[in-house]
Chain A
Amino acid sequence: MSEKEFEPVIVGFFCNWCTSAAADLAGTSRLHYPASIRPIRVMCSSTVDPVYLIRALQEGADATILGGCHPGDCHYISGNYKARRRVVIAKTVLKSLGFDDDRVLLEWISGSEGPKFARVMTEYTEYIKKKGPSDFKYVDSLGGE
């Protein structure tokens, strides 16, 4: 790392109906949240195969967030319950392999919770900043071990 302060890269997968709407609301309410979040809008939190989360972590992200509707509020009735199970699987696999599973975050943020969105993003960025860069990123040096 250079002397510059560590700026984490956080990839966010936000569901179209709730968390993305909350991101919009945070924006139109002029709430500040860190620029380290790279949002990707998906139709539902359950469309995110955990493989995408792992791939983001492998290819350079320091952390990932999956944002969905609150339980019971899913636009597709049960998508967020499925997403929760998938995140449990992803976290368990990462933990099992000896990796910090806090770098995958699942958060329920509804469309009206603009302030919560800004708060969660700020808190999580601070949290990851404290943790430092992820060691799940490319460690492969071409010279071999």
Chain B
Amino acid sequence: MLILWEVNKLYNDVLKDFLKKAFENGLIEAVIAPAATDNSYTYALITKKEDVEKLTPIAPVMQWNGADMIRRITRLKPAKRKTLAILRPCEARTYKELIKFNQINPENFYILTYDCPGTIHARNYVYEQTPVEELIESMKKGEISDKVRESCRVCEYPTPIKGVGDIGFGIVNTDKPVFFSLTDRGKDFLVKMEIQEGERDDSAWVEMHRKNREKWLEEERITGGRKGIEKFLAQCMNCHNCKDMCPICFCKECFFEDHSVFDYESEKFYNWADDKDGIRLPTDKTLFHVGRLIHMGTSCVGCGLCQQACPVDIPLYRLFGIVGNDLQKVFDYKPGVNDDLPPIMEFREEEFEEFVGLNGGED
């Protein structure tokens, strides 16, 4: 039996030992996990046991969405080598969502996900390097550190969910970390690793986040129709970073980039300016955000990377998270937590009659 835990051992070291052991047992041939760079963390793919030391499985910063990295790797062909990816719960949900969209081929992939202490805004981390141990410590005390991002404070699923990912790593509310399986594949994996499955109670940690979320959904809503949204997006400089970082925005050709829909003859611009007493340039700034909401809002997993990527610090997650939440409620859909198809991928013959016609489709 493998003893992974000793007193005062760092959780990252526990995971590193786990990875080394998995390499030795021949269960995996590659690992995708965060690794430190100068003042930040990015994802790394390693294929040798010696390289495990270079990793930081639980990083204080989420620069990219890990599922997006897996998408890039398996875009053309499925992975040939058995790979273990260490993902945050939100990334694991993204992974599941992208499988539904046929963007990830899950063949040969194992996902390990853990009780997430939250992440620090990548820009804040450059100026103040907070080690992940500090975040985990406040998590063990039952407090959400005030250094973590807004989207992490209001996370709906901060811990592993059954069926999302294969192996769970429990930290919260337990003296020693536990491994547990989330799927049958994960169970096999742990049996082969000779690890006894453990249990821990994460309900308090989840409840805390849900409470924050309820409050947040109520308080931070953008109201006021067009005026409200224009005010909210007033500083937006149309860089489209939010779209680039969004793991759900995977289209190769974006509706809003180099699309002939937005090519107009010069005379049009002058006519608009005539009609509206002047127009702002570039045009269709708000349309980009509202359009993106329409395209990906039903599948927003809530990683909050749009907000982190914004160079002018618009709290974009309040737009995508809250409106996305409304959309998901209408369709009774939770992205990435179960096997339901995303709303935009399916339809039923009898549904949403109340949205047809002026008074709910009377004839």
Q: Which residues of A contact B326 (CB under 8 A)?
A: 92-93, 95-96
* A137 adjacent to B226 (CB under 8 Å): yes
Q: Which residues of A contact B230 (CB under 8 A)?
A: 139-140
Among B224, B291, B356, contact of A106 (Cβ-Cβ < 8 Å) = B356
Q: Which residues of B contact A116 (CB under 8 A)?
A: 363
Q: Which residues of A contact B231 (CB under 8 A)?
A: 145
Cβ of A71 within 8 Å of any chain B Cβ, yes or no, is yes
Q: Which residues of B contact A25 (CB under 8 A)?
A: none
Cβ of A99 within 8 Å of any chain B Cβ, yes or no, is yes
Cβ of B258 within 8 Å of any chain A Cβ, yes or no, is no
Least CB distance from A13 to B in Å reads 14
Tell me the complex Cα distance, A139–B279, Å: 11
* A54 adjacent to B358 (CB under 8 Å): no
Interface residues of B in 288-344 (CB under 8 A from A): 290-291, 293-295, 297-298, 322-323, 326-327, 330-331, 343-344
Tell me the complex Cα distance, A58–B280, Å: 13
Interface residues of A in 67-125 (CB under 8 A from B): 71-72, 78, 81-82, 84-93, 95-100, 102, 105-108, 116, 120, 123-124
Q: Which residues of A contact B255 (CB under 8 A)?
A: 49, 51
* A92 adjacent to B327 (CB under 8 Å): yes
Tell me the complex Cα distance, A105–B355, Å: 8
* B287 adjacent to A135 (CB under 8 Å): no
Q: Taking CB as reference atom, which chain B residue is nearest A50?
A: B294
Cβ of A6 within 8 Å of any chain B Cβ, yes or no, is no
Least CB distance from B233 to A in Å reads 11
Q: Taking CB as reference atom, which chain A residue is nearest B223?
A: A98
Given A85-B347, A139-B230 in contact, is the A60-B356 Cβ separation under 8 Å?
Answer: no
Given A108-B356, A140-B230 in contact, is the A99-B349 Cβ separation under 8 Å?
Answer: no
Given A54-B287, A98-B223, A136-B225 in contact, is the A89-B356 Cβ separation under 8 Å?
Answer: no
Q: Which residues of A contact B221 (CB under 8 A)?
A: 96
* B358 adjacent to A135 (CB under 8 Å): no
Least CB distance from A3 to B in Å reads 20
Among A50, A96, A136, contact of B322 (Cβ-Cβ < 8 Å) = A96
* A84 adjacent to B284 (CB under 8 Å): no
Tell me the complex Cα distance, A33–B286, Å: 33
What does the 1/0 interface line of A23-49 toward B look like (CB < 8 Å)? 000000000000000000000000001
Q: Taking CB as reference atom, which chain B residue is nearest A138?
A: B276
Tell me the complex Cα distance, A135–B275, Å: 16
Cβ of B229 within 8 Å of any chain A Cβ, yes or no, is yes
* B226 adjacent to A93 (CB under 8 Å): no
* B343 adjacent to A54 (CB under 8 Å): no
Q: Taking CB as reference atom, which chain B residue is nearest A116?
A: B363
Q: Which residues of B contact A142 (CB under 8 A)?
A: 277-278, 280
Tell me the complex Cα distance, A95–B284, Å: 20
Cβ of B228 within 8 Å of any chain A Cβ, yes or no, is yes
Tell me the complex Cα distance, A105–B101, Å: 29
Among B223, B280, B295, B330, contact of A140 (Cβ-Cβ < 8 Å) = B280
Q: Taking CB as reference atom, which chain A residue is nearest B331?
A: A88
Q: Taking CB as reference atom, which chain A residue is nearest B322?
A: A96
Least CB distance from A58 to B in Å reads 6
Least CB distance from A59 to B in Å reads 8
* B225 adjacent to A98 (CB under 8 Å): yes
Cβ of B357 within 8 Å of any chain A Cβ, yes or no, is yes
Cβ of B227 within 8 Å of any chain A Cβ, yes or no, is yes
Interface centre among B277, B293, B326, B327 (most CB of A within 10 A): B293
- Known interface pairs A84-B356, A135-B226, A141-B277; 17 further A-B residue pairs with C-beta atoms within 8 A, sorted by A's residue number: A51-B295, A54-B291, A59-B272, A60-B275, A81-B348, A89-B294, A92-B323, A93-B293, A97-B225, A97-B228, A97-B229, A97-B323, A98-B225, A98-B228, A108-B356, A124-B358, A140-B230
| Nearest 3 CB-CB pairings of A with B | A81-B347, A51-B291, A98-B223
